Amino acid sequence: MSLLAVEHADARHGLLHAVRDVSFAVEEGEIFALVGANGAGKTTLLRAIAGAHRLSHGRIVFDGHDLGTERAHRRVRRGITLVPEGRRLFNDLTVEENLSVAGAGARPGYWNRTTVLEAFPMLASHLKQRSGSLSGGQQQAAAIARALMTNPRLLLIDEISLGLSPIAVTQLYESLHTVIAAGATIILVEQDLTRTLRVAKRFVCMLEGRIVLGGDAADVTREQVTAAYFGLRESVPGERER
């Protein structure tokens, strides 16, 4: 049984049909990527999995449990944690305080202050610094570290590299590899296709709310994904939608 199953999911923003009949599954310990241009429906889908946006049709099943209309805080207790686009740290709190708030009601597990700082060593010298005064890369590191403090079974990361310098992105991906090595299950939304296809085992590409390409990352080229990304064609021979 898959850790997560998204089944015929539809989601709307008023009259906008943002997610259209999307289905896929994620196995425990897997790194799964959602790719697509801005407005493809990726963020809405992540928010629906996290419980921050209600589906209009379909269902989300986590560890055999139909989440239905279960609220976001209850999904965190089940082990689903979202790192949202834009980080959304408590900017007036220090890095240390952000970590402590997330860890206060954490599930039991591997992640704690010590292991989080081992994965994100760039934060160690900034623990007493207000989160709002950090650089963009440091804020993203703090946001992922804060999410890990809840000991998630499924970590959702929305746009890990958006707006960051190449050096900051490289540092973040080095830390992400440490998180992956610890056995994390991750759904990653990312616009850097090269990095995405290197780190993810499987992926789906979304266009106008639908999945237009999906499969093993090792079986496709960057050019094939780019074609689907921009709607130049909707399938690659030998691939099937998930």
d(CA 106, CA 86): 23
Q: Which residues contact 184 (CB under 8 A, 6 or more apart)?
A: 29, 31, 152, 155
Cα-based angle 41, 29, 157 (whole degrees, multiple of 5): 35
pTM: 0.91
**CB contact at 8 A, 123 and 158:** no
Confidence class for position 233, pLDDT limits 50, 70, 90: low
The residue to which tokens 């939608």 are assigned: 241
Quick check: 168 pLDDT over 60? yes
Give the rounded distance of the alpha carbon of 108 from its chain centre.
21
Tell me the average pLDDT across 41-60.
97
Residue 73 has pLDDT above 80, yes or no: yes
Q: Where are the domains of the chain?
A: 4-229
- DSSP-derived secondary structure letter, 17: E
List, for residues 20-37, the tens digit of each pLDDT value: 999 999 999 999 999 999
Using one digit for the tens of pLDDT, what is the confidence trace for 169-210? 999 999 999 999 999 999 999 888 888 889 999 999 999 999
Class of domain 4-229: alpha beta
Is the distance from CB of 58 to CB of 6 less than 8 angstroms?
yes
Percent of residues, the chain, with pLDDT higher than 90: 81
What are 108's two structure tokens? 């039991």
